[in-house]
Amino acid sequence: MRAAAAGALCAIAVAAPAAPAEDLSCSAEVDTPTVSAGSPVTFTLTCRGRVESLDLPKLEFPPSFVIAATSEATTVSVRMGRVERAVVKKAVLVPQEPGEFEIGPFSIAFGDGAVDTEPVSVTVEDAPSQPAPSRPKFDGERFTI
């Protein structure tokens, strides 16, 4: 009897419909909204909730942004008896040209629907000019070692 009840519960759990989009939240952000050309900025896409059936998009960035590194991680935590999951996708970007740029928005497929992020603005300023290296001045004295 117990085995039949356990089997019925498993069948119900497997046959459960896809979770609504409210069970998933996604956000996009950069660590520094204003950077100098040639300086790195980290872009982060985070999805929390029912992340089991996510289809994360390929991250597309402005053409003048060089992708220096990428990573993806899934975390699971238990808070007050409730399991929380998150998927985090990061990219370290190095913008090459000054200007105003928009990253995203991204659409994350989830079950039968999708969750969209807001676009993220990045301002890239001219790189600070480097002073020319100076040569040490010598007063003409010779050294012997």
Residue 44, Cα to own-chain centre: how many angstroms? 2
One digit per residue, the tens of pLDDT, for the chain of length 145 reads: 444 444 443 333 333 334 444 588 999 999 999 999 999 999 999 999 888 878 788 899 999 999 999 999 999 988 888 888 999 999 999 999 999 999 999 999 887 888 999 999 999 999 877 665 666 555 556 555 5
CA distances from 18 to 7, 22, 31, 77, 94 (A): 20, 11, 33, 22, 39
Record: fold of 26-125? Immunoglobulin-like (2.60.40)
58-91 residues labelled b (16+ CB within 10 A) or e (exposed):
ebebeeebeeeeeeeeeeeeeeeeeeebbbebbb
- Rounded CA separation 31/91 (Å): 11
pTM for the full predicted model: 0.72
Domain ranges of the chain: 26-125
In 3D space, the residue among 26, 22, 23, 71 whose CA is nearest the CA of residue 46 turns out to be 26
